[in-house]
Amino acid sequence: MSEARAAEMVARIARAMVEHPEEVSTRVGEDRGEPVVDLLVAEGDRGQVIGRGGRGAHALRTLLRAATGPRSKGGLGLRIVD
């Protein structure tokens, strides 16, 4: 799956999780030289995406890993930004 399609997949899922879906966006960037999807959400929605105990964020990372492969083999990571 291409980076752009993976980023759009993350955005679609995140829009279903938040109260302000119009403020959800993604971009592909780098973190310590490795590619990541930056998920930008409204400040009040950040907790909704992360979820209790980080379960929401973990689920998003798992789906992203399934779509792009492990980070060690060039897959994408996820960074949640408010």
Q: Are 68 and 75 in contact (CB under 8 A)?
A: yes
pLDDT range class, residue 77, cuts 50, 70, 90: very high
Q: Please report the pLDDT score of residue 70 as a whole number.
A: 83
Instruction: Look at residue 66 and give its three-state secondary structure.
Output: helix
Q: Please report the pLDDT score of residue 73 as a whole number.
A: 83
Query: Where are the alpha helices (H) located in 1-82, listed in sequence order?
Result: 3-17, 46-50, 55-68
CATH topology of domain 3-81: GMP Synthetase; Chain A, domain 3 (3.30.300)
Domain boundaries, the chain: 3-81
